[in-house]
């Protein structure tokens, strides 16, 4: 009896808070509903609200018309995708940003950071993998850094083997590329993952599937 009354009160209070708070002080305060909508619901449903153009909506003509560089990215585990725009360049690292606040950073086509996904890749060291791929395959060491639930950086060192799978031409929105497919198998303790890259003769990674973090899984990208 008491519990029902309490529940009713809480519901009433929460409802009242979203409806009746007024004055300059509360203008910027997020209401409970939007917190739930933006913060919690996407987590439960595993997506972050697809924004930007949807997959089939992109066309080569539109990309050409804009005259800008784009990256088409998707996170299979969340069934979400987005068109990312070039937003920053630091040495050989390029950062791409989506409209809804997700960024990914590549160093010579290899993923070295993400932001805005939750279990993000904070930073990575991939120079060994880059060198091995240039030689057509080999061994490499790779370092990933993650931010844990207690705000500490966790470092994981992976031992990787890079293999040239073979010639595998691909087509991305009407344009065809003569690419070679590479696979990178990494492990650290009992943890394993496999990254896949499609690279042309000039060394450009046109398409890839690379690990972000275990909870999010892989990131698929194609350069437009």
Partner 1 sequence: MRLRTTTILTGLALWAGAAAAQSDWRPSYTTYGTPGLIEMPSGLSEPDAQFSLTVGGFDLQQRYTMSFQISDRLGGTFRYSRIDQFGGPGEKATYDRSFDIRYRFVDEGRYLPAMTVGLRDFLGTGRYSGEYIAATKTFGDRLRVTAGLGWGRLGSEGGFTNPLGVIDEGFETRPNQDDESFYGEGGTVGDAAFFRGDAAVFGGVEYRFNDRFTGVVEYSTDAYTRQAGRGTYDHESPLNFGVTYTPRPEYAVQLAYLNGSTLSLAATFSVNPFERPTFGGMDPAPVPVAVRPADTRAALSWNRSALPEGTLRDLIAQTLASDGQEVTGVELTDRSIRIRYENTKYRTEAQAMGRINRILTNALPASIEVITLEPVRAGVPVASVTFRRSDIEQLENVAGGTAASLDRAVFADPAGTNAGIVAVDNGEPRFQWGIAPYFAPRLFDPDYPFYASIGIEASADYYVRPNLVLSGAVRYRVFGDRDPDDRVNDGALPPVRTQANSYHEEGNPSIERLTLTHFGRPAQNLYSRVSIGYLEEMFGGISTELLWRPVGSRLALGVEANYVMQRDFDLMLGFRDYDVVTGHASAYYDLGNGYHAQVDAGRYLAGDWGATFALDREFDNGWRVGAYFTRTNVSFEDYGQGSFAKGLRVTIPTDWSIGTPNRQAFDTQFASLRRNGGARLELDNRLYETLRDAQSPMIEDSWGRYWR
Which residues of this chain interact with partner 1, rule CB under 8 A? 2-3, 6, 9-10, 12-13, 16-17, 20-26, 30, 35, 38-40, 43, 87-91, 93, 95, 97, 100-103, 105, 107, 112-113, 115-116, 118-120, 122-125, 143-156, 190-192, 213-215, 217
| Cβ-based nearer residue to partner 1, 43 or 68 | 43
State the nearest-atom distance from the C-beta of 165 to partner 1, in Å.
22
Are β-strands 153-167 and 103-107 bridged in parallel, bridged antiparallel, or unpaired? Answer: unpaired
| Cβ-based nearer residue to partner 1, 83 or 198 | 83
| Cβ-based nearer residue to partner 1, 186 or 224 | 186
| Cβ-based nearer residue to partner 1, 146 or 198 | 146
State the nearest-atom distance from the C-beta of 116 to partner 1, in Å.
4
Q: In what order do the strands lie in the sheet with 121-125?
A: 110-115, 103-107, 93-97, 80-90, 70-75, 217-223, 205-213, 191-199, 180-188, 153-167, 138-147, 121-125
Place of tokens 């920053």: 88
State the nearest-atom distance from the C-beta of 136 to partner 1, in Å.
25
| Cβ-based nearer residue to partner 1, 20 or 167 | 20
| Cβ-based nearer residue to partner 1, 149 or 166 | 149
Which candidate, 81, 54, 49, 83, places its Cα nearest to that of 66?
Answer: 83
Beta bridge partners of 153: 147
State the nearest-atom distance from the C-beta of 202 to partner 1, in Å.
24
State the nearest-atom distance from the C-beta of 59 to partner 1, in Å.
26
State the nearest-atom distance from the C-beta of 196 to partner 1, in Å.
17
Which candidate, 73, 82, 79, 78, places its Cα nearest to that of 53?
Answer: 82
The Cα–Cα gap between 70 and 51 comes to 15
Q: What is the DSSP string of 52-93?
A: SS-GGG--HHHHHHHT--EEEEEEGGGTEEEEEEEEEEETTE
């Amino acid at each position: 009896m008491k519990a029902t009354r309490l529940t009713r009160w809480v519901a009433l209070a929460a409802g009242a808070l979203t409806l009746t708070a007024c004055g300059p002080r509360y203008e910027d305060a997020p209401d409970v509903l939007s917190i739930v909508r933006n913060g919690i619901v996407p987590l439960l449903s595993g997506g972050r609200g697809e924004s930007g153009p949807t997959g089939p909506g992109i066309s080569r003509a539109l990309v050409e018309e804009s005259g800008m560089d784009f990256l088409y990215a998707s996170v299979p585990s969340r069934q979400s995708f987005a068109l990312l725009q070039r937003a920053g360049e630091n040495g050989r690292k390029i950062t791409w940003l989506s409209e809804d606040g997700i960024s990914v950073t590549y160093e010579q086509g290899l993923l070295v950071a993400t932001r805005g996904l939750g279990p993000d890749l904070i930073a990575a060291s991939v120079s060994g993998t880059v060198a091995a791929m240039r030689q057509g395959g080999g061994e490499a060491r790779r370092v990933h850094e993650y931010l844990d639930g207690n705000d500490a950086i966790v470092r994981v060192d992976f031992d990787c083997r890079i293999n040239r799978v073979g010639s595998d031409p691909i087509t991305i929105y009407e344009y065809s590329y003569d690419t070679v497919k590479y696979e990178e198998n990494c492990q650290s303790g009992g943890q394993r993952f496999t990254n896949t890259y499609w690279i042309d003769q000039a060394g450009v990674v046109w398409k890839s599937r690379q690990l972000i973090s275990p909870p999010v899984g892989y990131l698929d990208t194609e350069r437009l």
